[in-house]
Amino acid sequence: MTVPRSVTVRVPAKVNVQLAVGAARADGFHDLANVFLAVGLYDEVTATPADALRITCEGPGADQVPLDRTNLAARAAEALAARHGRRADVHLHIAKDIPVAGGMAGGSADAAGALLACDALWGTGTTCAELLDLCAELGSDVPFSLVGGAALGTGRGERLTELAVGGTFHWVFAVADGGLSTPAVYREFDRLTPDAPAPEASEPLLAALRTGDATALAATLANDLQPAALSLFPSLADTLATGTAAGALAALVSGSGPTTAFLTKDAEAAAHVAETLRTSGTCRTARVAEAPAPGATVLGPRA
């Protein structure tokens, strides 16, 4: 067998088309009904043999990415190495395109990418079920980054049921100046929502995904973390209003934010909303992306 010199894996960002959040559990996490949709903005993780674990990162926001063992990709490599009784002697290079600390699961994407890249590089042949277990240990959103497409996440978001999607959705993402800490947004949710009901997936929303109907999906988008994100980052209200006035079918905060997401009726409308947002002064930049996107994909070992 030829040992590859490096393996590159491409991993998508996500938007939560529904994020229903229950009360805090005894372990501090929240039960969720989390409808994930993978979108076509990608990070790439390249694994190359090295003397010791090393992380490098390039791209927008790379200066905010930790390069030590607190990086989720480093923890992923260590977890896979421990499972197979070997050393995590790998250089992980992350080419970032997913907004950092933006509520689009960029860190989770890098963890899923690192797992898959190291598994291919090391020839450890980890089964899909084992990879999903490792992903769930690393973080609530990591299993979805591995599988992509669309899925309902229950529990703390890590228990996935694949969902059918009947068409292509056209999105715009406004990248904010600055980030939000996910735990801080959940704490603010607890303060604002002392009696959160048990979370439930919305049937009309799942039906809109199934039929690929953007107008029906727009009418059902819902993020329970949005009031908390707006409370901590009030200027996001201006971004949401700007994209809506430019013709988006609907607007919402992506996950815990501060990226905001705009669903549009087609590619032309998306280009217009993105251009309006870019020149509005209400965000740092705006990106166009289609959904659903495939999950973590090996781009090919280079021998």
Give the integer Cα–Cα distance in Å for 120 and 50. 15
Residues at the site binding ligand C5P, with contacts judged by CB under 6 A: 29-30, 32, 139-141, 156-157, 182-183, 186
Q: Smallest distance, Å, CB 80 to ligand C5P?
A: 18
140 is in an annotated binding site: no
Q: Which of these is catalytic: 14, 110, 119, 224?
A: 14
- Cα dihedral sign for 183, 188, 190, 196? negative
Query: Please, which residue, 119 or 158, has the CB nearer to ligand C5P?
Result: 158
End-to-end CA distance of the chain: 11
Q: Smallest distance, Å, CB 51 to ligand C5P?
A: 29
Q: Which of these is catalytic: 43, 110, 119, 141?
A: 141
257 is in an annotated binding site: no
105 is in an annotated binding site: yes
Q: Smallest distance, Å, CB 135 to ligand C5P?
A: 11
133 catalytic residue (yes or no):
no
DSSP assignment of 133-162: HHHHHH-TTHHHHHHBSEEEEETTTTEEEE
Q: Smallest distance, Å, CB 187 to ligand C5P?
A: 7
Query: Please, which residue, 102 or 157, has the CB nearer to ligand C5P?
Result: 157
Q: How far is CA 55 from CA 47, 67, 91, 225, in A?
A: 10, 5, 6, 32
Query: Please, which residue, 156 or 170, has the CB nearer to ligand C5P?
Result: 156
Q: How far is CA 283 from the centre of its chain?
A: 19
177 catalytic residue (yes or no):
no
Closest-CA residue to 229 (of 179, 278, 286, 273): 179
**Which residue type is seen at 294?**
P
99 is in an annotated binding site: yes
Classified as helix, coil or strand, 106 is helix
Give the integer Cα–Cα distance in Å for 49 and 30. 38
Cα torsion 65, 69, 70, 71 to 10°: value is 40
Question: Would you call 180 exposed, middle or buried from its count of C-beta atoms within 10 A (0-12, 13-18, 19+)?
Answer: buried
85 is in an annotated binding site: no
Q: Smallest distance, Å, CB 86 to ligand C5P?
A: 25
Q: How far is CA 91 from CA 51, 230, 234, 299, in A?
A: 8, 38, 40, 17
295 is in an annotated binding site: no
Query: Please, which residue, 146 or 270, has the CB nearer to ligand C5P?
Result: 146
Query: Please, which residue, 141 or 224, has the CB nearer to ligand C5P?
Result: 141
Classify strands 54-58 and 90-95 as parallel, antiparallel or unpaired. Answer: parallel
Query: Please, which residue, 24 or 67, has the CB nearer to ligand C5P?
Result: 24
234 is in an annotated binding site: no
Q: How far is CA 212 from the centre of its chain?
A: 21
**Residue 225: phi, psi to the nearest 5?**
-85, -10
Q: Smallest distance, Å, CB 186 to ligand C5P?
A: 4
Annotated binding site for ATP: 99-109
Catalytic residue annotation:
14, 141
